[in-house]
Structure 1
Amino acid sequence: MSNRRTFAVLGISETNSIFLAKQIAKTNPVLLFDHDAVVLNTVYSQILLEYPNANAEIMICPTNASWEADVIILSNAAASDSNLTEKIRKVATGKIVLFLENKKNTSGNTAEKWQDLFPFSKVIQSFESADNSNDSFFLNGNDKEAVKTILTLLTNIGLKADIL
Structure 2
Amino acid sequence: MAFQYFGGIDLMEIEGVSYATVLTIISEIGPEGFTKFPTAKHFTSWMRLAPNNKISGGKILSHRTPKGSNRIKTALRQAANAIGNLKDTHLSNFFRKIAFKKGRQVAVSATARKLAVIIWNMVTKKQAYKPPTEYLFLDQKRKMGLVKRIKKQINKFDIKPEDLDFSTS
Taking structure 1 as the reference length, the TM-score comes to 0.22
Determine which structure has the larger helix proportion and give its number. Answer: 2
Determine which structure has the larger strand proportion and give its number. Answer: 1
Taking structure 2 as the reference length, the TM-score comes to 0.22
Pick 1 or 2: higher relative contact order, CA cutoff 8 A, min separation 6: 2
- Larger C-alpha radius of gyration, 1 or 2? 2
